[in-house]
Structure 1
Amino acid sequence: MSITRFAVPLLAAVALLPVVPAVAAAGGLSWQLCSAVARGWDPDDQRTECALVPVPVDYADPGGPKIDLAVSRIRATGERAGAVLLNPGGPGQSGLGMPGSIADSHAGGIGLHHDLVGFDPRGVGYSADLPCQMESPEPDPGVPDRDKAREAAERIAKANRECVDAHPAFVRNLTTPTIARDMDRIREALGEDKIGYYGVSWGTALGAQYRSLFDEHVDKMLLDSVMPPDLSVTTMDDDQATAGENTFHDFASWIARYDSVYHFGTTEPQVAKVLLELRDKYGATVNGMLANPRREWPDLAKQLVAIRAGDQPVVKKTTPSGFGWDGEPSAFNHAQQAALLCNESPSPRDFDTIWQHRLDHMKRLPVAGGYGLYEQLCVGWPLAARPWVFEKGTSPLQLVGHLYEPVTPIGWALAMQHRIGGALMTVEDDAHGSLSSLPCADAAVTFFDTGRTTSASCAGAPTPKP
Structure 2
Amino acid sequence: MSITRFAVPLLAVVALVPVAPAVAAAGGLSWQPCSAVAKGWDSDDQRTECALVPVPLDYADPGGPKIDIAVSRVKATGAKTGAVLLNPGGPGQSGTTMPRTIAASRAGGIGVHHDLVGFDPRGVGYSADLPCDVDFPEPETDKDKAREAAERAAAANQACVDAHRDFVRNLTTPTIARDMDRIRQALGEDKIGYYGVSWGTALGAQYRSLFDDHVDKMLLDSVMPPELSVTEMDDDQATAGENTFHDFASWIARYDAVYHFGTTEPVVAKALLDLRDQHGATVNGMLANPRREWAGLAAQLAALRDGGTAESRKMTTESWDGEPQAFNHFQQTALLCNESPSPRDFDTVWQHRLDRMERLPVAGGYGLYEQLCVGWPLAARPWTFEKGTSPLQLVGHLYEPVTPIGWALRMRDRIGGTLMTVEDDVHGSLASLPCAEAAVTFFDTGQATAKSCPGAPV
Give the alignment's TM-score, normalised by structure 1.
0.89
**Contact 1:362/1:369 (8 A) holds in 2:** yes
Q: SS of the residue aligned with 2:365?
A: helix
**Contact 1:139/1:287 (8 A) holds in 2:** no
CA distance in 1: counterparts of 2:276 and 2:53, whole angstroms? 47
Deviates more, 1:171-180 or 1:414-423: 414-423
Which residue is 1:176 aligned to?
Answer: 173
| Partner AA of 1:205 in structure 2 | A
CA distance in 2: counterparts of 1:236 and 1:340, whole angstroms? 14
| Partner AA of 1:82 in structure 2 | G
Which residue is 1:226 aligned to?
Answer: 223
Give the 3 Å change call, closer, same or farther, for CA 245–15 of structure 1 in structure 2.
same
**Contact 1:247/1:292 (8 A) holds in 2:** yes
Choose from 243, 248, 251 the match for 1:246: 243
1:96 Cα deviation from its structure 2 partner: 1.0
CA distance in 1: counterparts of 2:317 and 2:57, whole angstroms? 29
CA distance in 2: counterparts of 1:338 and 1:56, whole angstroms? 22
CA distance in 1: counterparts of 2:36 and 2:300, whole angstroms? 40
Matching of residues 71-90 of structure 1 within 5 Å: 71-90=71-90
Q: SS of the residue aligned with 1:371?
A: coil
Q: SS of the residue aligned with 1:59?
A: coil
Which residue is 1:425 aligned to?
Answer: 420
Matched, 1:408 2:396: no
| Partner AA of 1:138 in structure 2 | E
**Contact 2:318/2:326 (8 A) holds in 1:** no
Which residue is 1:460 aligned to?
Answer: 455
Which residue is 1:111 aligned to?
Answer: 111
Which string of whole-angstrom CA distances, capped at 9 and with x for unpartnered residues, describes residues 436-456 of structure 1? 111111111111111111111
Which residue is 1:313 aligned to?
Answer: 312
1:90 Cα deviation from its structure 2 partner: 0.6
Which string of whole-angstrom CA distances, capped at 9 and with x for unpartnered residues, describes residues 410-463 of structure 1? 11111111111111111111111111111111111111111111111112222x
CA distance in 2: counterparts of 1:15 and 1:286, whole angstroms? 40
Q: SS of the residue aligned with 2:396?
A: strand
| Partner AA of 2:444 in structure 1 | D
1:311 Cα deviation from its structure 2 partner: 5.2
Which residue is 2:24 aligned to?
Answer: 25
Which residue is 1:208 aligned to?
Answer: 205
Which string of whole-angstrom CA distances, capped at 9 and with x for unpartnered residues, describes residues 100-146 of structure 1? 11111111111110001111111111112333233323245xxx333
Which string of whole-angstrom CA distances, capped at 9 and with x for unpartnered residues, describes residues 282-302 of structure 1? 655654433222123234445
Which ranges in structure 2 are unaligned for 5 or more consecutive residues?
A: 5-10, 14-18
1:279 Cα deviation from its structure 2 partner: 5.0
Deviates more, 1:53-62 or 1:167-176: 53-62
| Partner AA of 1:72 in structure 2 | S
**Contact 1:139/1:284 (8 A) holds in 2:** no
Which residue is 1:385 aligned to?
Answer: 380
1:147 Cα deviation from its structure 2 partner: 2.7
**Contact 1:176/1:340 (8 A) holds in 2:** yes
CA distance in 2: counterparts of 1:277 and 1:429, whole angstroms? 28
**Contact 2:300/2:311 (8 A) holds in 1:** no
Matching of residues 193-342 of structure 1 within 5 Å: 193-262=190-259, 264=261, 266-269=263-266, 271-273=268-270, 275-276=272-273, 279=276, 286-302=283-299, 304=301, 309-310=308-309, 313-315=312-314, 328-342=323-337
**Contact 1:130/1:333 (8 A) holds in 2:** no
Which residue is 2:16 aligned to?
Answer: none
| Partner AA of 2:12 in structure 1 | P
Which residue is 2:67 aligned to?
Answer: 67
Give the 3 Å change call, closer, same or farther, for CA 441–400 of structure 1 in structure 2.
same
Deviates more, 1:245-254 or 1:310-319: 310-319
Which residue is 2:151 aligned to?
Answer: 154
CA distance in 2: counterparts of 1:314 and 1:417, whole angstroms? 36
1:46 Cα deviation from its structure 2 partner: 1.2
**Contact 1:307/1:313 (8 A) holds in 2:** no
Give the alignment's TM-score, normalised by structure 2.
0.90
CA distance in 1: counterparts of 2:436 and 2:442, whole angstroms? 10
CA distance in 2: counterparts of 1:217 and 1:130, whole angstroms? 31
Which ranges in structure 1 are unaligned for 5 or more consecutive residues?
A: 1-12
Matched, 1:351 2:351: no
CA distance in 1: counterparts of 2:370 and 2:323, whole angstroms? 30
| Partner AA of 1:251 in structure 2 | F
Which residue is 1:100 aligned to?
Answer: 100
1:354 Cα deviation from its structure 2 partner: 1.0
Deviates more, 1:379-388 or 1:34-43: 34-43
Deviates more, 1:382-391 or 1:352-361: 352-361
Which string of whole-angstrom CA distances, capped at 9 and with x for unpartnered residues, describes residues 69-102 of structure 1? 1111111111100000000111011111111111
1:256 Cα deviation from its structure 2 partner: 3.7
